[in-house]
Amino acid sequence: MPKVFITRNLPTDLTLLEKFASVEVWHERQPPTYEVLLSKVRSIDGLLCLLTDKIDKELIQAATNLRVISQMAVGYDNIDVSAATARKIPIGNTPGVLTDATADLTWALLMASARRIVEADKFTRALLWHTWEPDLLLGADITGATLGIIGFGRIGQAVARRASGFDMPIIYTSRNPCNKELENRLNAQFVSLETLLKQSDFVTIHTPLTSDTYHLFGRTQFEMMKQSAILINTARGGIVNQDELYNALITNQIAGAAIDVTDPEPIPSNSPLLNLNNLVIAPHIGSASYKTRKKMADMAIENLIAGLKGEQLPYSVNSATLTQSD
Ligand code: NAP
Ligand code: GLV
């Protein structure tokens, strides 16, 4: 039987997988260290990993029997895709099933930041609520505000769909504009990044983390934004330069931010971001609903089994390049 290693307990049943493979699961709450993972991959045929696992060239080269890498996430910036493709190892991911949950969380963060929900909760629990006051905890209007979406793929478009109840004009930037019919349906207009930053009341990031998007947000981009604007990032921490985010928030260059992702993760205990009242931080829970996480785990297992059988992965990251290199 082929051997597989799963780097964490999964929220689903492994019975089907166990018919095809001898399965070892890492049961600790913390992920395996890089050294442990390196020793495990030397003898396995299939790996089911998470975004917390660094799957670099050295690890892939050490995994001499490896036939499939199945990631339980849509993003795969933790995996050296070229190194795996060079070894003809297919990589799977879990697109689509987490789109709605992540778009919902994006809206939760947008609204929490605009209406200062976390501050309001702390204020109330501190027994500071003495009376109704005309200027208590005022926040930003959402209805009618301009929503700027960076990266107009599955999640970016799902965020746009949810804006229709708030009468929000939508501007977006992406590698390419989408078709006019979709633009009309979503009330969305393609603009440059610069225009988007200058005109948006809310800016939300939905690109993958790549060499092009690493630190896409720095001082220049914050300086282009309205002082009343709010930034939401549920994509990847590395897309925003965090020192510049701190500067922008502490100097009120922008009004606020809400982030589900940081760089590194978890956020270090001495990060000055933890002291800011105009920042809402969540611990990377974009896809964290019961049904979504089960669907992601099932999809990752489906990919893993297909890879072990030598079949094309149903949800593949590198199938096009694997075919080209044949
Ligand atoms: P997707 O459908 O591939 O959408 C990404 C979009 O970004 C695509 O339209 C893509 O254009 C565009 N893009 C790529 N590079 C760009 C660049 N340099 N500038 C502007 N736009 C660019 O992916 P998705 O399913 O929406 O997921 C997006 C990301 O969200 C994932 O990669 C992941 O990192 C993150 N995520 C986070 C969570 C969470 O828990 N917080 C959950 C799910 C996903 P092309 O189509 O031309 O490539
Ligand atoms: C989560 O961040 C994912 O990429 O699925």
pLDDT tens digits, one per residue of 104-124? 999 999 999 999 999 999 999
**Extents of the domains making up the chain:** 3-97+290-325, 99-281
Q: Is the pLDDT of residue 222 over 70?
A: yes
Ligand lying nearest the CA atom of residue 259: 1
pLDDT category at 324 given cuts 50, 70, 90 is confident
Q: Which helix (H) or strand (E) holds 48?
A: strand 46-49
Q: Decide: 75 in ligand 2 pocket, CB within 6 A.
A: yes
Q: From CA 14, how far away is CA 23, in angstroms rounded?
A: 9
Q: Per-residue pLDDT tens for 52-87?
A: 999 999 999 999 999 999 999 999 999 999 999 999
Return the CATH superfamily for domain 99-281: NAD(P)-binding Rossmann-like Domain (3.40.50.720)
Cα dihedral value 117, 122, 128, 132, nearest 10: 10
- Same topology, domains 3-97+290-325 and 99-281? Answer is yes
Whole-structure pTM value:
0.98
Is it the case that residue 323 has pLDDT exceeding 90?
A: no
The residue contributing the CA closest to ligand 1 atom 21 is: 174
150-179 pLDDT tens trace: 999 999 999 999 999 999 999 999 999 999
Nearest C-alpha neighbor of 95 from the set 313, 310, 296, 321 = 296
CA 207–ligand 1 middle distance (angstroms) = 3
Chain segment 264-313, per-residue pLDDT in tens? 999 999 999 999 999 999 999 999 999 999 999 999 999 999 999 999 99
Active-site amino acid positions:
236, 265, 284
Each residue's pLDDT tens digit, 240-252: 999 999 999 999 9
Confidence label for 325 from pLDDT (cuts 50, 70 and 90):
low
**CB-ligand 2 contact for 287 (6 Å cutoff):** yes
Q: How far is the CA of 299 from the centre of ligand 2 (A)?
A: 13
**pLDDT of residue 214 exceeding 80:** yes
Q: Does domain 3-97+290-325 have CATH number 3.40.50.720?
A: yes
**38, 62 Cβ separation under 8 angstroms:** yes
Nearest 5 degrees, angle CA 224-CA 229-CA 233?
90
